[in-house]
Structure 1
Amino acid sequence: MISEEIMKNDTLEAIIQEYLKPYVRKIDSEAYYAKKYLLELGKAGFYHSEQLSINEVLLREIAVVEKTAKYCMTTAFNLWCQLASMTYLRYSNNSYLKEEILPKLEKGELLGGTGLSNPMKFYGGMEELHLKATRTEGGYLVSGALPSVSNLDDNHWFGIVAEVEGAQRLMAYVCCDAEGLRLKEKIGYLGLNGSATYACQFKNVFIPEKWIISEDADTFIEQVRPAFVFYQIPLGLGVTAAAIRSIHRARAKQGGCNRYLPIQATELEQELEALQEQTYKLAGETNNFPSIWKELLQTRLDVVNLTSKAVHANMVHSGSAAYISKSDPARRLRESYFLINLTPTVRHLEKLLSR
């Protein structure tokens, strides 16, 4: 399987060891943005999609996110942003974006963010769209504000959805350097401060037609939202696997008394394996996305619950050593709370599943 090949890929492991693992604590405690790691993945070919099926690309990229999350969920989240960002362009009919921008993203020359937290909540009936667009010569003028967009920096790009006068909504790809766009870094979170997250203020930002992903965002979102959710699931799979590994390492603590705890590694491993199988099975059904949408949402919710269970168990099994703020179990605990609140959030998922 492609996923197994990726997990055992020596090149991926080498990139992790050089560009990610040494910086994990700096990412967590100093809001360090592991941009070099994300770029190296592209340079090594882990983003390319040419001559590959949607199925092959999805399976490979889910596996790369999962392996990254075993070391650092903050950076795996940045990777999710990059993959979701590329997905928008892969599905677009805009030749400029597909032929000029997408190849640079896939080669590790550019990085991108998603910008769709507010739109996804809008389509879930939870928020109004924050961005408004007005038609002008050669494109649109966009104004409004997005409270949080991640994986941004100079010369980065990200997706937006804006409401045009009337009932139309468009989706566009915007460069962080666009005139009239102001970015304000957001840190001070419980976790994931190294995610390069910014508040984005738009003031009559000109969006040329060559940046338009689709002028029918309502239909386009239906196409890309499965990948949007798929790439989130391995965030939890990777963190859960890391928590289980940590629990195993703590089994001899204080005379082996951890064996009396109600949640054991074996139980977590069985649940993790089942969710991994479900995830990769669903990812293989790319031609049948509408019929698996509810299953995909349920898997996303199940992985959040399992991750929460695993990291809490990891804290208990590790004892006092885990209660140091820079400890790995404490970092994973904080990361897991972000997964709960990542769009679609747990409450958003529960609403979608109730329909």
Structure 2
Amino acid sequence: MIMDYETAVDDILETKLKPLVKPIDREAYYPREVIGELAEAGAFIQGTNRLHEQITREIRLVEQVSAYCMTTGFNLWCHLAALTYVRHTRNRRLKERFLPLLESGAVIGGTGLSNPMKYYAGLESLHLKAEEQPGGYVIHGVLPSVSNLGDGHRFGVIAETFDNRRIMAFVSCDHPNLHMQEKADYLGLNGSATYACRFEGVVISDEEVLSDDADLFIKDIRPSFVAYQVPIGLGVAAASVRGMEKHVNRQSGCNAYLPVQPADIKERAAAMSDSLARLSKDGRVLSAWEELLEIRRATAELVLDAVQAGMLHAGGSGYKQTSHEARRLREAYFFVNLTPTVKQLGKMLDSNGA
């Protein structure tokens, strides 16, 4: 029997992802196969959809996945960020080569833009340097943390040239001069396949250059970059609500006296979801930068309130390290420190989105 898309996604999440949630959380298991299964179901194929319509569908998918497991939702976001870079590039050869591979899941994508996003917000200098040579560039430097990496994967980076330009490249994890050291000592999301990446003369061909003008290119890709993060938080908030609702009758119903109730979280989440849906419906999700930053900040605040309320509603059972509530608490603290972080969002909004 051939399943329709929605049924296929539900089946993947219930039968493939759900059994992996504990190994992901406790054993730093990397759920690469889930992204592969979603790709096989056609999740990333734009087809006849307009770009904002495809983004709307993918936003919904990120929320569904994150409600099961935020680590996997975050990995999915990384892949969608890579897809965003390739969808927007004007490098025809790069797009023709890599877009079908990313859509099909034959290549999994990561994003190395944590440092560049901070650079463009005036928080850090760029960590990578690029020297131009015939046919491309040579890149040197270190990125402390890049996620969703592995054999055969690709990820985007921005490097500064010696004549004060910035270029963006699509780098292979298999390059012999790229040295990767796995990082699995986080409070949460250790299954995110996160690595420190040291570039020691990584040669990038012209076919791997996403843009020779990253300063302009970043303005095209950053709205989607942030838009895909919002449903990560909404998924975790939705899971927290379901957890609270399961405990409604605990200890003779005394959870009713807690200051944050499931209905409070639902109302706030619905408002954010509606705001994002409005931007998606008319295509402004591709350009409404400051509005997306506001929604993203509000989502971070919502997630913290949701998971902390979930812990209180669960009571003693929530304080077991293996509980769903404790896992979501750890996930939430990762989410609020995901670039752009809460403090970075505050600075950017105070500077009118810069």
Normalised TM-score (structure 1): 0.96
Q: How far apart in 2 are the matches of 1:68 and 1:248?
A: 20
Q: Give the 5 Å matches for 1:150-189.
A: 150-189=147-186
Q: Which among 294, 308, 321 is matched to residue 304 of structure 2?
A: 308
Shift of the alpha carbon at 1:18? Answer: 2.1
Say whether residues 1:105 and 2:110 are aligned partners: no
Which of structure 1's runs of 4+ aligned residues deviate more than 6 A? none
Which residue pairs with 1:299 in the alignment?
295
Output one character per residue of 1:198-221: Cα deviation in whole Å (capped at 9) or x when no partner. Answer: 000000110011100000000000
Q: How far apart in 2 are the matches of 1:13 and 1:239?
A: 17
Q: Cα RMSD between the aligned structures? A: 1.2
Say whether residues 1:78 and 2:75 are aligned partners: yes
Q: Which among 322, 329, 341 is matched to residue 325 of structure 2?
A: 329
The answer as to whether partners of 1:244 and 1:269 remain within 8 angstroms in 2 is: yes
Q: Which among 35, 38, 55 is matched to residue 38 of structure 1?
A: 35
The answer as to whether partners of 2:136 and 2:205 remain within 8 angstroms in 1 is: yes
The answer as to whether partners of 1:39 and 1:110 remain within 8 angstroms in 2 is: no
Q: Which among 217, 228, 232 is matched to residue 231 of structure 1?
A: 228
- 1:194 partner SS: coil
Q: How far apart in 2 are the matches of 1:252 and 1:40?
A: 38
Q: Which among 105, 128, 131 is matched to residue 128 of structure 2?
A: 131
Which residue pairs with 2:243 in the alignment?
246
Normalised TM-score (structure 2): 0.96
Say whether residues 1:262 and 2:259 are aligned partners: yes
- 1:182 partner SS: strand
Which residue pairs with 1:349 in the alignment?
345
Which residue pairs with 1:340 in the alignment?
336
| Number of residue pairs matched by the alignment | 348
What 5-or-longer segments of structure 2 have no aligned partner?
Answer: none
Q: How far apart in 2 are the matches of 1:353 and 1:240?
A: 24
- Which moves more between the two structures, 217-226 or 263-272? 263-272
Q: How far apart in 2 are the matches of 1:289 and 1:185?
A: 33
Which residue pairs with 1:57 in the alignment?
54
Q: How far apart in 2 are the matches of 1:52 and 1:97?
A: 21
- 2:291 partner SS: helix
Which residue pairs with 2:146 in the alignment?
149
- 1:193 partner SS: coil
Q: Give the 5 Å matches for 1:267-306.
A: 267-287=264-284, 289-290=286-287, 292-306=288-302
Q: How far apart in 2 are the matches of 1:288 and 1:329?
A: 32
Say whether residues 1:122 and 2:119 are aligned partners: yes
Q: How far apart in 2 are the matches of 1:138 and 1:223?
A: 25
Q: How far apart in 1 are the matches of 2:268 and 2:39?
A: 32
- Which moves more between the two structures, 46-55 or 75-84? 46-55
- 2:143 partner SS: strand
